[in-house]
Each structure stands twice: as structure tokens, then as C-alpha cells.
Structure 1
Amino acid sequence: MSLNKQVPFPADLDLKRQSIEVPGTKRPGQTGHYRNGCWGLLPLGCEPNRLNTLLDIYETGYALSKDQPFLGYRPKLAEDQLANHFVWQTYAEVDVRRRAIGSALHALFQSGVLGGGEMDTVGIWSQNRPEWQIIDLALHAYKKIGVSLYDTLGRDSVGYIIRHAHLTVVFATWQHIPTLLKLAPSLGILKLIVCIDDIPPKAKFVVSSWAELQKVQVKELRELEAEGKASPVEPFKVTPNDVASLCYTSGTTSTPKGVVLTHGNLTSAVDSCLHGTGFDNRGVLLSYLPLAHIYERIAELLIISIGGSVGYFSGDPLKLLEDAQILKPNYFPSVPRVLNRVYQSAMVAGNAPGLKGKIFAKALESKLQRLRTTGINTHALWDRLVFRKIGAVLGGNLKMVTCGSAPIAPDVMDFLKIALACDVVEGYGMTENGATCSRVWPNDPTSSGTVGPPQPCNEVKLVDVPAMGYTSEDKPFPRGELCVRGPNCFSGYYKDDKNTKETLDDEGWLHTGDVAAIDDCGRIKLIDRVKNIMKLAQGEYVALEKIENLYSACPLVAQVYVHGDSLQSFLIGVVVPDPVQLASLASDITGKKISPEDQLALGLATRDDRVVDAIMKALDVEAQRNDLKGFETLKRIHVTLDPFTVEDGTLTPTFKIKRKDAYKKFQVELDALYALGEPASSRPSKL
């Protein structure tokens, strides 16, 4: 049996038939079922050599790389100083630890110290680090259900999830222990807190005394591991139908929903991603996207399945590039928020005056022309002279960059493909389908702006949305709500029949809430949202999230919130400018040199009519570039240095804007923009 589970694309890949509509499946009000044009629809475990459970994934990686580096981190040398290298644990070393943790947990659940709910659930509340993955691997092997808590979650959300999932044990980092102990009396179910860090010696007595008063036990992870080593138990056999995870969604508009994901759901997603993934050596992934989010989890499971390594970032976003340059990853799962910054920084550097700027412009033009006609994103001369420096920012060793979680502008995607000169793959997925629905194919010259064909693990169809004017009979391409079905799709929300029935229909189709078109090559193009839409006073429907994503590609914009009111005929918004870009713009306009670190001067610039007008003009350019209709464009903006953050409750842990809270934060300013009345002309105004 081959241990290499990767399935390469065939050499004669037909880019004109990326998905195929299954004959006889079309019904009134919907398209037929579309399946992957290369592999069709692959059921879970369709071949003896394929993966069926998360244990299969781990055991394959272990067999491939037993004594090779697996999980790594940069050790701390002093309070503010990190080593300039990664320290690694091998697969064999991790195996000892996951068995110890799993054995200890099994004993505690079996004795009744833990448990008592419908399922044996275990919480993990930590930033990305090796221990996060080791604990999760232990849960997979000993039939426990992992419940991930975003590191940035507030007290109320943590309390809700602990109650809802009936968590009697939570693994947490040191800084979260006080919050858990404060919550414990009101929860009544939390019995054990396992501190992933060693508790500072001076704090041990205080913590144990406090925990005793709350009738909760606190242990260090190393203590739990010692207990498991003393009474080892072999890992259990698991089946594809065994529940592996309750993954709580971010909750942009309501309380978080617990997505029930089985071993089969997650393994199907990973196995599907192995079709068309072409690592010719061991993968090395830089982990910085939250492991509590399904996208990062699937990416790391993919690397494990090929016996690769995961290097965890230092925990400080400002040191991410430093982490990348030390680790030199060949796999970089990312999101538009990060990749837009790479694009903007590179374009600013490339727009230098004189010969340097001319060389950059020529290289850019030449490579874009080649990409858009042939699909080839490399060039011997221009890569060496110009673009190698951009790739070096992320370590200089990239093989694959993936982009998901939100749309990214086609121009940005094309630039990244030629600048990074590796596979830059945009995909689409959601928690409910294991972050796996569709993915672009390599060397496709016109794929930017699409999310590719369905993955081989699922099939898709489009269902009419009459209220928004989208139908399966639209020309030139059918349009409608994207629905997905396959072994990667979840079975429902935990203890939530209402939302389950609204999302999953009787035939097992997951209704995504995204509106898509399927083009003549069989690729999915996301065009709108069924949810998060609103109707303006004159009856036009607008998708606020879509508009925000398009404006976010503007180099001046760090964050943008688009606001509409059904009693008004136009959109307004809040713009948080990028400080480097704002400093440059304000310096040019005022004639005074302003530093990006000069908060006072930048604050004054946000209130300068000339600066705000210039930002509006830049937004207008972005709107025109993306063919936004007049009613979809911002007509007035409030410019501020006060960002939307997880801490102030205006962002979810996955950095999506919480609309209700964002409006509440800037209600005075936004209401004042509308109070100015109808814009006098097509040119936007400002406050």
C-alpha cells in the first residue's frame, strides 16, 4: 500500500471542462448537479488506499516521517527576545505525548471525574502552538470530541460555548486561567482546567486555592502527561461516523452555532485536497491562522497526511514576516487580509521613481501578459531581477499559497501569482463543509475572479433566488444560491434543529447563503450573498459584505465598513486607512512630512477635507475597476484611526465585521452622514 496519498493532476488537464453537469439532474428552479471535471465525485474511502478517519491521516504521516521534524516553534530567550531558529519535536516524540494525554483523559472520563454530557467533549482555548495540535491528535485517537475556543473570545462567548457543549475539561494557556476560574461558579459543569503552560511557581498556591474554592481542579499539562504515561492505554479504533469536533462558527449576527463534524467529514475534506496537491518533498507550513478555525485545521491535517512539518508563528502578528524568513515555509495558507497587505506593499515599493520604477513596470506588464495568455507565472529574467525579492519576504521557498475565508480581487490574485511565482490557489469553503468546496486549477490563465470547480469530494448546484433576480436560466451563465453535497458536509448544528433545517435540506444539500454563477469552463464565481443583503429605499438590493471585500483591495484601506439604511437611497461607510499609505498621502497633500508613527498628525489628516476627498477618489477608482453599480458605491465616508477589533466586539475572531456592533460603535458619525441629506451629485461627500 502506497503511503503517498497525493494524486497529481493529469498532464492533459482540460481547462474548458473543469466541472460537468450530470445529465438528468436538472429540475425547475435549479441547475443540474455539477461534479469535478477531472475526478468526478469521490465518496469517502472509495479506494482501499485512501484515507477514512483522522487516525488514518496521522498514522500515514507517522509512517512517512517517524523521526523527522513535525511540530516546531521559536523559543523565547528573554522577555522580548525570540530565538532565530525553530525547535522541533519529531513525529515519534509527538506520538508519545498524544498517547499520554489521551490515556489520562480516558481514565478521567471512564472514572466519572469528567463527562456527563451527551458526548465526551474537551475544550482547547489557546493561540496556535505545538501543544494545540498534540492535544487535538490525542482527542482523535481516544474518541473524544474537540471543542475549539478562539484565543480572542470574550468571557460571554466562552461561557456560552462551555455550557452549550457541556465542557467539563478545558485545556487553556496561562492567561486564560483567571477567566475560567471566574466563570466556573456560574457554569456548574467545569471540573478540570489543564494549563498548557507551566504555572509560575509564585502563582501556584494562589491558583490552587482559588480553584479549590470554585470546586475546580487545575493541573499543568506535564502533570496530566505523567499520569497518562503511568497508565497507558492503546488508541481506540474510530469510524468515519464518529464525531471528531464541535466547531463553533464566529457568530457575526447571533450566538455561535456548533457545527458537528465527524472523522469522515474532515478526512474527506483532506483527501479531496490531496487531489491536485503536488508537494515533491515534505511540506513545511507556517501556522498563524487560528487553529480554532476549520481552514487552518484542514491545512495542517493535509501537511500531516504527507509527513510534513508545521512551524508555529511567534504569536505576534508583527513578527509574522520574521517567522516566515526563519522557517522558509513551502506552504502558506492565508487570507485576503494578509495577502492584500503583501500586494499593497509590493506595489508601493514598485512605484518608485526613475529606472527602478520603470523596470518594475516592465516586469509587471510582461509577466501579467504571459500569465493571462498562457497561465505560466514564472519568467527566468524578471523573477531573478524583480520578483525574487517579494517571495523572499515570505521566506523565498514557497511552493503553494492558498487563499480563502473571503473574496480577493482578481487583479490582486494575478499579481500574487506572478510575484510569488508559485501555485497561488484561491478556494472556497465554510465550516459546515470542512473548508472544502471548490478550488482553482493550476496554469489556468483566466481563473482569477473565480473559486474554481467543485472539489472531488462534493457536487454543487445553483437554486433560484427570485427576490434578487438570480435564476438557473440566466444568460450567459446560470446563477443562484450555491448548494453543496458530499461526505465532507456536516450533519447539523449541535442542539439546534431550527438552524439545521434552514441550512440542510431533506436531500442533504447544504445551502451556503452565497450566490454564484457557473461559467462556461465549469468554474464557480461568487457574485453575491443571500444573507447580509439589504434593500435601499428605491428597492435595489445590495450585498454589503461583497462591497466591503471589493473596496478592501484599495491600498489606502486597512478596514472598511459599508452601511446602508432601508429608508435611504445610498450607502455610506467608515474607512480605517493604512497608516503608511495615509502618511504618504497626507504628506503630499499638506506639503509637510508626516511619519506613519505620528498619531497626532495622522489624526488631524483624517479630518482634513482634502485628504478625505483623496481617499474617496481612490475608493471611486476601486468601484469603477470592479464595475459596481451606482447604488452600490459609497457616497459619504467617515475616516478614522480607531479600528474595528476583536477586543471591542466589532470583529469576530476570524476578523469578519459584526455589523450590528460596528454600527453601534460609529452610530453618531454614520447618522450624521445621512443627516446631510441626498448627495448633490454623483461625487461622494464626506464627514
Structure 2
Amino acid sequence: MTPTHPWIGKWPENLDFSKQSVQVPGTTRPGQTSAYRGTPFPYFTLADIEHYRTLPQIFDSGLQIAGSQTPFLGRRPVESHEPLKFANHYVWQTWGEIDTRRRNVGSALQGLFGSGAAVGTNGLDTVGIWSANTIEWQIVDLATSLYGKTLVPLYENFGPDSIEYIVNHADLTIVFVQAHNVSALLSLSPKLPTLKIIVAIGETSATQKELLDAWSTQRGVRVITLAELEEMGAKAPIEPPNVTPETVATICYTSGTTGNPKGAVLTQGALASATYSNTCGMDFTPFAVPVLLSFLPLAHIYGRTMEMCVILAGGKIGYSTGSPLRIIQDMQVLKPNFFPAVPRLLNKIYQIIAANLEAPGLKGALFRRGVAAKMERLKATGDYSHPFWDRLVFNKVRAALGGNVALLTSGSAPLNPQVQDFLRVVLSCTIIQGYGMTENCGTCTRCIPKDPTDGGLVGFMQPVNEIKLVDVPSMGYTSEDKPYPRGEICVKGANCFSGYYKNEQATKETIDEEGWVHTGDVGLMDEFGRLKIIDRVKNILKLSQGEYVALEKVENVYATCPIVQQIMVHGDSMQSYLLAIIVPDPVQLARIASRVWKKPVNEADLAALDAAVKDDRVVKAILGVLTADGVKYGLTGYEFVKRIFVTNELFSVENGCLTPTMKVRRRDAQRKYKRELDALYALGEPQLEKIAKL
């Protein structure tokens, strides 16, 4: 039996918002703050817990809570391929069925490694998976953790160079691949000397299988389907070996914005303790168990950890249909109560809903009055509900996300405080911003629900973590700063990684002799013991007049502007002002062009939109909108973008401007737009444009 801990899913009564963390006595040293621990839940190490030390224990917890006959993993079936259409319901596999499938997959893997058909290296049996989020992704993860294998995820949108680097660096002999990418991996196989087996996930016709078999024979790589692998395991079941907290569960390659990705080595103990820590206070009231829509990439630690929390709690996971354009439709069908998201998506939702503030007539007036009333209540009490305005106005907004969302989390990048508070009142749900990184299983700090003053903060220390702030003299941040100590955020805990795979130098640069992980982020600790991210150690630009600018901070301000679909802010230490590359939202671009040209422009008229981004008058109007937002959010003079280049070409993984986690590859984007940026600087320093009244 796996008992449920008394504080999982519950917050202590009478929380003191003014004391969210405390300093650990005897830990103060010159050049750094004391270590801080959170106060809402007891701090713990792996030695303090018994039942959440490995990933199989996490699954056992969920199985005990849910029972073997309860639906667990589901997908919307395809009703037609031409045109592509999905059913308006989910088809589910039960906990018992998934348990059987993970054991079959695990038994087959154990047999392959045992026979030498698959080969381990450096003491690890590494297994790759290159796939979008699917039921099968989760089954492979559950199987590898049960049988002590090390899963190496590859992002679905990785290009050939990244695939080649990781397969070779992680010494992968067996890789699970979605059927449509099998041929792509086979084409790379001459450059992948360790690759021996490809397991095809998804439907493969007899003709396709015959062609792949012929090609794989030529390449010396065996191709089998997942169904065939499961049949192998079912015919020759093998009892799982004993795994320990020290067993390496995964190597997660960070999709860095420069250079080759680094593989963070994460143990079962790290992932299990992170999962347990996150479920402390993970309240889905009024629902008994979480129901989650899986669309955040499972190759990213944030999405993966959130799904493990659902597994621990015995919940349900419905997998998205794969397209960002269908996320809302998927939510309306699934009706999830737990919605882990990222600022990029939340900014888009904010822009869509905020348009109601400008709606004419009674509808707009009611929406504005409702937002104002609920915002006043939120700021005063932290309560985001209102019996009158929710029933009259905002339940319709909630229905767009399925109607049941009770808990929304935001991670991977800062969420604008205005966006956070606006979504709280219009969606009438708990929104918690957290902070973490791959190197600590996406787990470090988070906010407390209904904290009325947590806008822009990332909250208290997770119960598994300690943090401290270390001076950054070159940037003027010290632990003695007033009113709040500031410095580089360093984190320690059972959830932290053990190092970078085959990269001792990078490991030493990140983990110090006392085991503290240096994050590269700069934070401050406020008077309530809450952390705020204020800077990045490496992404700082010094302008020619001596002012320092945090480019990501400026981007996060402008990213909430409705006209902005994508943005990269650029600076040059030889110049005194900033530039930006803007990819505009087509709907907003059409509106601005219509006003400037004094004639209607349709957002579907691609020729007109291309003409608009080349029109100096339209570009000037867009800059005016950006400037107005900069004023609203309190940017200082040197933080304003003074000139912009506008393009309709999206930043993408394919053109080298985005990482697979949708972060801007700054160096590559600057190289791509070097001519345009140089041309803008050649115009000379402008005066700050007058705010356009559009």
C-alpha cells in the first residue's frame, strides 16, 4: 500500500502571506545571503520520505488511488484523413491496461539489452524517443523507469543536426520514433554508428512496412513496430529489476540558444522528489483528481513533471491532437481541470479575451465593469471569484477552455503581472507562476494561491529546495542591497541534476563544490520571503552610454502587446539605443493598415499584409503602439525600442531562429537579420517617437 501524505493536494490553514520563507540559521556567508526554505510545507530530503523516492512508486500511488479499471490515458480518434477531422470525444485506456503495456514494453527492452541486440554504455542503458506527445510516449517513459533504463527525449521539431548530435552523444542503440519520421532517421543512419533498432510508433501500412524493412536491411538497422515490441514482451515477460533513487532515469538535452545542447542527467530520486514537491498544495477543488490536456512537449521537463504529478494523484491525461490551432477545441472536448501553460500561449489568450474590453454597447460595458469589480476584489483579498459577475459574464469565457479549469500553472518564462491578474479574473481560476529549469526538474519556487500581491513574483521555495543569492559584482547586485538582497539564484535539493552527460567542464561551471546549482538567473528576495527574477547573468547588454539593459525583460514587456506575435530585441554596445525585429499578429496588422490606408484590409490578404510591413507609415504606427505599452509598463528611456524591422516571416526552428522550446536563438536571428539591423542603425539615433493614437 502507498499512503497519501497528509499535505498532498492541501494547503495549511491560516497561511501567513507575509512569511513565505525563512533563513536557515548559520548559513550566512560573505558575498551571499543565507539559505532560504519555504514555510508553507516542511522541507524534505529523500531521506525524509519513504513512498515517493522512485518513479515506479509514483505510478503505484496513482494506480492505488484510481484503481485498475479507471480511465487513465486518452486520445481523440481520427474520423477522417481527407479532410483531417477528429471525434468530439476521447477514447481511454485504463490504468490496468497501461500497467500491462508498460510491463510488456519494459520486458522487451530488458530482453534486447540482455541479448546484446541493444547495447548500453557508460553504465547506462539509454533509450531514445523522438515523438510528439502521445499515449505511447508516456508508456515508453513508464516502461523505461520501471525497468531501470535511461530515457533520452528528442524534441519532435529537432532538425537533422540536433538528432545526429544527441543520438551519437547519448550512444543510443534503440530509438522510438513516430512512423512518419522513421524514414528521416533511417536516412541519417550512416552518421549514427550506434543505432541498431528503430521502434515505429503509430500506424504503418503493410506497404510502408515492407519498404522500411527493405531500406533498413540496406542500412543495417532493424525496424519494428511498437505492437511487435509489445508482443515480444508479452511472450517473454521479465520481472522488473529493483530501481533506486540513484538510478539514472533520463538525460534531458537542453535546447540551448547557442552551441550544442547539454544533457542534464536526472535520477529517479530527482524526478520523484520534484513530483512529490509539486503535488504539495496542488489543489483541484472542486474536483477529486486532476484531468490534464497534454500539449506542452514531453521532451521539455516542465510538461513531463506536470504529467507525473497527475500520475501520482491518480488522474487522467488526454493527449492533444497535435496542432496549436486545435488546443481550444481539444480543451472543449476534454474539459480539463488542470491547465499547465506557458506565457507565449497565455499572452495569446490574453490578447483574444482583452479585445472584449473595447467591445461596443452593453456587452463591452458589462465586460469592463465585471473586470473592474473582480480586479478590485482580487487586489484586496486575493479572491478571483464573484457570484454575480461570474454568472453574468465570465462563465462564458471559462467555457472556451472547457469550463472546468480550476488550476492553471505558468512556467518556462516570466508571465506579465497584468496578464496574470486579468486571466485570473476572467477565467475565475487559480493561476500559479513557478520557476525552475531542466537542471532541477522544473522545480524551484512557486506562488501561493490567492496571494493578493504576487504579481511578477515566482514565490516561495518548493519544499524540496533551498535557495540562496550570490553577489554579482560586475552587474552591481549584492546580498547587502537595500531594500532587498539581490544576486545570482543558486538552488540545492534532492531534485537537482547530478551533472551534464560527458561534459565535466560545464558541470563544474554549474555545480559548485557544496552542491549548489548556479542558475545564471538574478533574483531578489522581498520582505515576505518571495523570489522575483530580475535579470540574467549572461543576457545583459551594455549600451554605449554605459546603461545596462536586460534584453529578455524588455521582450517580455512588449510580448503582451496585441500587435506582437513574435519579437526579438537587439542592441549593440557601440550604440545608445535598442532595435527590434517584430513579427506582427495578422489581425492586428490588418487593423493598423486599415487605419493608416483609410481602407479595409483583410487579415487573410497576404499580399496586403506583405505590403503593410514595407510601408513606413504602418511601421511607424506599430512603433507607436509599442511605445505606448512601454510607457504603460514603466520602461526607462534607454529600454525603449527606438527603431523596428517588421516582417511576416515567423521565427521558427526550420529557419534557425527558435529552439525546440520556442525560445529565440538570439545569435542566429541576429545573423539572419544582420543587414536589416545594420540598416536601422545606419539611420542614426532617433528621438523617441510620439505615442501614436490609433
TM-score under structure 2 normalisation? Answer: 0.97
**How far apart are 1:471 and its partner, in Å?**
0.8
SS at match of 2:602: coil
Q: Residue in 2 aligned with 1:102? A: 106
1:587–1:593 contact (8 Å) kept in structure 2: yes
**How far apart are 1:587 and its partner, in Å?**
1.9
**How far apart are 1:666 and its partner, in Å?**
1.4
**How far apart are 1:632 and its partner, in Å?**
1.6
Indicate the percent of aligned positions where both proteins have the same amino acid: 52
Q: Structure 2 counterpart of 1:434, which letter?
A: C
Q: Residue in 2 aligned with 1:137? A: 142
Q: Deviations over 1:629-672 (max 9, x none)?
A: 22222110011111101121110111000011111221111110
Q: Residue in 2 aligned with 1:258? A: 263
Q: Residue in 2 aligned with 1:52? A: 53
1:249–1:431 contact (8 Å) kept in structure 2: yes
SS at match of 2:500: coil
Aligned equivalents of 1:610, 1:373: Cα separation in 2: 43
1:244–1:262 contact (8 Å) kept in structure 2: yes
Q: Structure 1 counterpart of 2:418, which letter?
A: D
Q: Residue in 1 aligned with 2:679? A: 672
Aligned residues: 684
**How far apart are 1:683 and its partner, in Å?**
5.4
2:2–2:64 contact (8 Å) kept in structure 1: no
1:381 aligned to 388, 391, 408, which one?
388
Q: Residue in 1 aligned with 2:86? A: 82
Q: Residue in 1 aligned with 2:179? A: 174
Q: Residue in 2 aligned with 1:61? A: 62
SS at match of 1:67: coil
Q: Residue in 1 aligned with 2:505? A: 498
Are residues 1:114 and 2:121 paired? no
Q: Structure 2 counterpart of 1:105, which letter?
A: L
Q: Residue in 1 aligned with 2:160? A: 155
1:45–1:51 contact (8 Å) kept in structure 2: no
**How far apart are 1:372 and its partner, in Å?**
0.5
Q: Structure 1 counterpart of 2:111, which letter?
A: A
Are residues 1:238 and 2:243 paired? yes
Q: Residue in 1 aligned with 2:483? A: 476
SS at match of 2:538: coil
Are residues 1:15 and 2:22 paired? no
Are residues 1:325 and 2:332 paired? yes
1:211–1:218 contact (8 Å) kept in structure 2: yes
Q: Structure 1 counterpart of 2:491, which letter?
A: V
2:302 aligned to 295, 301, 309, which one?
295
SS at match of 1:425: strand
**How far apart are 1:621 and its partner, in Å?**
2.2
**How far apart are 1:7 and its partner, in Å?**
4.6
**How far apart are 1:454 and its partner, in Å?**
0.8
Q: Residue in 1 aligned with 2:4? A: 4
1:25–1:33 contact (8 Å) kept in structure 2: yes
2:642–2:688 contact (8 Å) kept in structure 1: no
Aligned equivalents of 2:415, 2:590: Cα separation in 1: 25
Aligned equivalents of 1:45, 1:285: Cα separation in 2: 31
**How far apart are 1:128 and its partner, in Å?**
0.3
Q: Which moved more, 1:58-67 or 1:489-498?
A: 58-67
Aligned equivalents of 2:186, 2:49: Cα separation in 1: 49
SS at match of 2:498: coil
Q: Which moved more, 1:20-29 or 1:505-514?
A: 20-29
SS at match of 2:508: helix
**How far apart are 1:45 and its partner, in Å?**
4.9
**Structure 1 residue runs without a partner (length 5+):** none
**How far apart are 1:624 and its partner, in Å?**
2.1
Aligned equivalents of 1:249, 1:116: Cα separation in 2: 22
1:286–1:329 contact (8 Å) kept in structure 2: yes
Are residues 1:192 and 2:165 paired? no
1:31–1:478 contact (8 Å) kept in structure 2: yes
SS at match of 2:499: coil
1:69–1:309 contact (8 Å) kept in structure 2: yes
Are residues 1:220 and 2:221 paired? no
Q: Deviations over 1:448-494 (max 9, x none)?
A: 11001111100111111111111111111111111100001111000
Distance 1:435 1:63, change over 3 A: same
Are residues 1:588 and 2:592 paired? no
Q: Structure 1 counterpart of 2:91, which letter?
A: V
SS at match of 2:645: strand
Q: Structure 2 counterpart of 1:638, which letter?
A: F
2:625–2:691 contact (8 Å) kept in structure 1: no
SS at match of 1:520: coil
Aligned equivalents of 1:28, 1:626: Cα separation in 2: 35
Q: Residue in 1 aligned with 2:460? A: 453
1:408–1:553 contact (8 Å) kept in structure 2: no
Q: Structure 2 counterpart of 1:442, which letter?
A: P
Aligned equivalents of 2:633, 2:471: Cα separation in 1: 24
2:499–2:511 contact (8 Å) kept in structure 1: yes
1:260–1:494 contact (8 Å) kept in structure 2: yes
Q: Deviations over 1:128-176 (max 9, x none)?
A: 0100000110000100000000000000100000000000000000121
Are residues 1:204 and 2:205 paired? no
Aligned equivalents of 2:231, 2:687: Cα separation in 1: 73
1:576–1:641 contact (8 Å) kept in structure 2: yes
Q: Residue in 2 aligned with 1:416? A: 423
Backbone CA RMSD of aligned residues: 1.4
Q: Residue in 2 aligned with 1:425? A: 432
Q: Give matches, 1:349-364, under 5 Å.
A: 349-364=356-371
SS at match of 1:573: strand
Are residues 1:516 and 2:517 paired? no
2:251–2:263 contact (8 Å) kept in structure 1: yes
SS at match of 1:511: strand
**How far apart are 1:522 and its partner, in Å?**
0.5
1:408–1:550 contact (8 Å) kept in structure 2: no
Q: Structure 1 counterpart of 2:109, which letter?
A: L
Aligned equivalents of 1:44, 1:613: Cα separation in 2: 57
Q: Residue in 1 aligned with 2:35? A: 33
SS at match of 1:223: helix
Q: Structure 2 counterpart of 1:404, which letter?
A: G
TM-score under structure 1 normalisation? Answer: 0.98
Aligned equivalents of 2:183, 2:335: Cα separation in 1: 37
Aligned equivalents of 1:603, 1:186: Cα separation in 2: 41
1:52–1:264 contact (8 Å) kept in structure 2: yes
**How far apart are 1:684 and its partner, in Å?**
9.5
Q: Structure 1 counterpart of 2:364, which letter?
A: G
SS at match of 1:413: helix
Are residues 1:613 and 2:620 paired? yes
1:529–1:546 contact (8 Å) kept in structure 2: no
Q: Structure 2 counterpart of 1:334, which letter?
A: A
Q: Residue in 2 aligned with 1:341? A: 348
Q: Deviations over 1:515-540 (max 9, x none)?
A: 11110111101111002222222222
SS at match of 2:524: strand
SS at match of 2:46: coil
**How far apart are 1:617 and its partner, in Å?**
1.8
Q: Which moved more, 1:562-571 or 1:396-405?
A: 562-571
Aligned equivalents of 2:550, 2:364: Cα separation in 1: 38
Q: Give matches, 1:493-642, under 5 Å.
A: 493-642=500-649
**How far apart are 1:508 and its partner, in Å?**
0.7
Aligned equivalents of 1:517, 1:40: Cα separation in 2: 23
SS at match of 2:37: strand
